[in-house]
């Protein structure tokens, strides 16, 4: 992948440079939504790697190599911060990225600590991809923050693909989700952690399968707050900008992107520049 020429984003001042966001596909839109709601003056460039989706079933070294390639594209466009809006990408690559590039990185972390604090039964369930659950970073997270609570993890192949197809309801989606959620509820879990950024788009189906006594937690809002903290720390927070732009790119078919955008994006469907990332 060659680095492209920098686009005409308002980068004369560092604080007006865009934020870059990466995900294995459209799942990171759940994080993008939270960032834009919290930081409306920021320009954002999102790359969804739908051509390589899902990351969760891939080896960690392959995920890391791919994330570095896409980060190089964002660096070439002059971003001031990169958000890895993907748990699998974070586990595979965030530490190496921080050691390589001078800009800050914000990654995903399953909400084990708040889930443990919220649990009354002492049992927490984590729904995630295979790659996320296999990573050492995740096991350290449980060791450091589970607080004596029993954490049951469930790899969930198929959920990412449902979201990538825009299949967010219906009997098939409910059947797949219930197959993962029911064993956790039967084991006593009263809090479920959504350990993949695709899963919030299935939240209604997950909550229906879990029942009203179970709390469902995701980390999108927490990541948005962390992005704001990092920008404030480095005096990079944009303010009072009238030219904030939202650019959403996919490595997959552009037609699929344009079909999914109005279905999954919680804000206006008409305010983004949509396109395909040519490799």
Residues recognised as catalytic: 86, 196
User: Is residue 64 within a helix (H) or strand (E), and if so which, with residue range?
Assistant: helix 60-76
- Distance, CA of 184 to CA of 170 (rounded, Å): 21
| Region label for 235, one of left (φ > 0), alpha (ψ between -120 and 50) or beta (otherwise) | left
- Distance, CA of 272 to CA of 121 (rounded, Å): 43
Q: How far is CA 198 from the centre of its chain?
A: 7
- Closest residue by Cα to residue 63 from 112, 113, 97, 14: 97
């Amino acid at each position: 992948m060659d680095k492209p020429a920098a686009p005409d984003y308002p980068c004369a001042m560092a604080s007006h440079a865009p934020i870059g966001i990466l995900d294995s596909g459209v799942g990171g839109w759940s994080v993008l939504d939270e960032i834009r709601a919290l930081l409306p003056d920021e320009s954002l460039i999102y790359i969804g790697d739908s051509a390589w989706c899902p990351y969760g079933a891939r080896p960690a070294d392959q995920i890391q190599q791919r994330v570095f390639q896409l980060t190089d594209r964002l660096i070439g466009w002059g971003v001031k911060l990169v958000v890895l809006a993907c748990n699998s990408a974070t586990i595979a690559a965030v530490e190496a990225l921080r050691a390589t590039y001078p800009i800050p990185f914000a990654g995903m972390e399953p909400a084990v600590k708040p889930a443990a604090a919220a649990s009354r039964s002492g049992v927490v369930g984590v729904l995630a991809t295979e790659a996320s659950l296999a990573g050492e970073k995740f096991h350290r997270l449980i060791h450091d923050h589970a607080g004596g609570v029993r954490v049951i993890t469930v790899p969930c192949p198929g959920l990412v693909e449902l979201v990538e197809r825009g299949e967010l309801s219906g009997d098939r989606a409910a059947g797949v989700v219930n197959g993962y959620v029911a064993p956790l509820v039967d084991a006593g879990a009263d809090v479920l952690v959504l350990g993949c950024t695709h899963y919030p788009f299935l939240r209604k189906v997950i909550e229906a399968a879990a029942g009203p006594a179970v709390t469902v937690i995701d980390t999108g809002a927490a990541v948005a707050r962390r992005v704001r903290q990092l920008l404030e720390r480095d005096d990079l927070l944009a303010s009072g900008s009238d030219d904030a732009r939202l650019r959403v790119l996919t490595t997959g078919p552009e037609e699929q992107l344009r079909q999914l955008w109005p279905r999954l994006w919680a804000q206006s469907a008409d305010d983004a520049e949509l396109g395909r990332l040519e490799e």
